[in-house]
Amino acid sequence: MNIVVVGLNYRTTPVEIREKVAFLPSRLQKALAGLAALAVVQECLILSTCNRVELYAITSEIEDGTYAIKRFVADFHQVDEEEIQPYFYAYSGRNAVRHLFRVASSLDSMVVGEPQILGQVKSAYSQACLAKTNALVMNRLLHRTFSVAKRVRSETMICSRAVSIPFAAVEMVQRIFGGLAGKKILLIGSGKIGELAAGQFLNSGVESLAVINRTLEHAESLAEKFQGRAVPLENLTEQLTEVDIVLSSTAAPHYIIRSRDMEKVISRRQGRPLFLIDIAVPRDIEPEVGNIPDVYLYDVDDLQGIISSNLQSRRKEADKAEAIIEAEVRKFMNWQRNLEIVPTIASLRKKVEAICRAEVAKMFAALPGSETGHEEEIETMASALVKKLLHEPIHALKATRDQRGGHYYAEALRYLFALEPSGGDNGAAPKHGSDDE
């Protein structure tokens, strides 16, 4: 049983190729059924996001399995195999396990530490369960993956620092106010980044949201999304007097807020501080506004400073995460080796003990008379001989668990003693089923 992953991601593949091989949610069940139907595939899972397409499989043969999966991707999406072949990467065994752990822990993400990928991996596993393309190994691998990702998030600070403009804006405001509970926010403009930032502010506990846009209908649409209220542009000065935080992200070619207007606003605020975040390029707020007492003005460059600092911090935390992953990879590989070795040892003992019992029975039947008076002693001696004869090979087989390619020793032992093949009635899981943990 070999774990393999075949994939393409944002590092290896341009978006125009990724979109050709992306598995749409509506077709994912069909794709899983087709992948599982390949002769070399025992279990499988498909992870398809905007940044990566990865197919995980338990396969009998690494090279044949890898080739078959690549061919499947091309056939399923009806694209030229030669067109996508240069973009594929493939890992097997320990490297495949490590890759999945890193993906779920967001160490392989475009933005290290982003939280969305773990949910996407969980969703991919749920789809595999629904399609019944999961069994013992895939179940254990994914459950361990979730545990590893949880360890990385709880034992490191890799997810705690802002590395995007919306997150950085919230972090900066929290530094100034010490908390956002009860604060009022004004969003000027309805661009995507401003919308994301507004969502982050609301998630952080602000009291209310008002939206101003040159087109009132656009303001109303965005305000409805966040259960806020739309305000006409001509009421901007009034709103600046009332709110605590302003986030401006318009495409205006000129300043929306000027220092002469802000001085009037501040005189009405009676010493209450006003926090202004200008993420527009060109800027919406005249730089001189930042010189007015009780006004805190920050632009995109200020936020980028926070992002750069936090990225550096995340890289340090990533080193801690990598150490956690390496330890977890070793644990999983030991479990997988035991999956091969433990049934082999059990089968070997069962077969040799059966041969011993049969030979003792033959001897008793051949002896004159129905009783020898020494049956118990003979059976004890035979049992001791079995244990002594098996001690060294079993000890040597257990020692291979920590060796690369150790499962080949188990396969050789099964061949030499004509034992049942792994996956028979020795406790291994069927092709599709639920986890036995």
Superfamily of chain region 2-160: Glutamyl-tRNA reductase, N-terminal domain (3.30.460.30)
Look at residue 130 in the predicted model and tell me its pLDDT.
97
- Segment among 33-47, 53-67, 271-285 with least mean pLDDT: 271-285
The stretch 73-90 carries a mean pLDDT of 96
Q: pLDDT exceeding 70 applies to what percent of the chain?
A: 88
Query: Which whole-number Å values give the CA distances from 236 to 23, 222, 280, in the listed order?
Result: 46, 17, 17
* Burial 144-159, CB ≥16 within 10 A → b, else e: bbeebbebbbeebebb
* pLDDT score recorded for residue 427: 35
Considering 44, 50, 159, 356, which one is annotated as catalytic?
Answer: 50
CB 205 within 8 A of CB 173: no
The CATH homologous superfamily of the domain defined by 165-302: NAD(P)-binding Rossmann-like Domain (3.40.50.720)
Joined tokens for residue 352? 């040799």
pLDDT for 139: 94
Of residues 418 and 42, more confidence is placed in 42
> What's the whole-number mean pLDDT along residues 200-205?
79
DSSP single-letter state for residue 285? B
Q: Which pLDDT tens digit goes with each residue over 338-370?
A: 666 777 778 888 888 888 888 888 877 777 665
Judged by average pLDDT, the poorest of 25-39, 140-154, 237-251, 402-416 is 402-416
pLDDT tens for residues 220-277? Answer: 988 888 888 999 999 999 999 999 999 998 878 889 999 999 999 999 998 899 999 8
User: What is the length of the chain?
Assistant: 437
- What's residue 316's pLDDT? 78
For the chain, the domains span 2-160, 165-302, 337-416
The beta strands (E) that lie in 157-252 are given as: 184-188, 208-212, 229-231, 245-248
**77, pLDDT greater than 80:** yes
pLDDT band at 429 (very low <50, low <70, confident <90, very high): very low
Assess whether 356 carries a catalytic annotation: no
- Tell me if domain 2-160 and domain 165-302 are identical in fold: no
pLDDT higher than 80, residue 428: no
How confident is the model over 305-313, as a mean pLDDT? 70
Measure Cα distances from 343 to 1, 330, 347, 356 in Å. 14, 20, 6, 20
Q: Tell me: the pLDDT tens digits for 166-198?
A: 677 777 777 777 778 889 999 998 777 667 777
pLDDT at 403: 59
What distance in Å separates the CA atoms of residue 146 and residue 15, rounded to the nearest whole number?
A: 28
